[in-house]
Amino acid sequence: MKLDILRAGGIIVDRQPADDRATDRKPDRDYFDLEAAPLIRFRRPDELQGYLENTDKEELLFSAIPISGEPETFRYNSREKVIIRTGDGALFDSVADFICYAFQCDPEGYPRTEYVDVVFG
């Protein structure tokens, strides 16, 4: 399979075909068409945090795909700076809390994963 990988400001954008990606397609949850959405690989927590905090959109719907585990879908409200997990309504009341969750940080705040793939809808 051929992958079209682009570099933009240190962030890898991977336009991998959507049928090779996991996604949450349950009708009672928010989801989006992964075929139309690029996958962005964030290798450092500060990259993802900067992306979210510097968005010009009021709300982002995205799916975070960890190295191991199941992908989860989230909504980010840039005005209130909160992130909500759409599956169960869990609230991350700061971007920093979400970043630690996504990168599986240890108690000192160091990430325990190499990267997090994110698909924006």
pLDDT band at 1 (very low <50, low <70, confident <90, very high): very low
Shortest CA distance to 36 belongs to which of 21, 22, 17, 56? 17
- Give the residue carrying structure tokens 């991998």: 16
| pLDDT for the residue numbered 9 | 41
pLDDT band at 32 (very low <50, low <70, confident <90, very high): low
Q: Is the pLDDT of residue 3 over 80?
A: no
- Give the residue carrying structure tokens 């989860």: 72
| pLDDT for the residue numbered 39 | 86
| pLDDT for the residue numbered 121 | 73
| pLDDT for the residue numbered 38 | 78
Residue 96 makes CB contacts below 8 A (sequence gap 6+) with 49
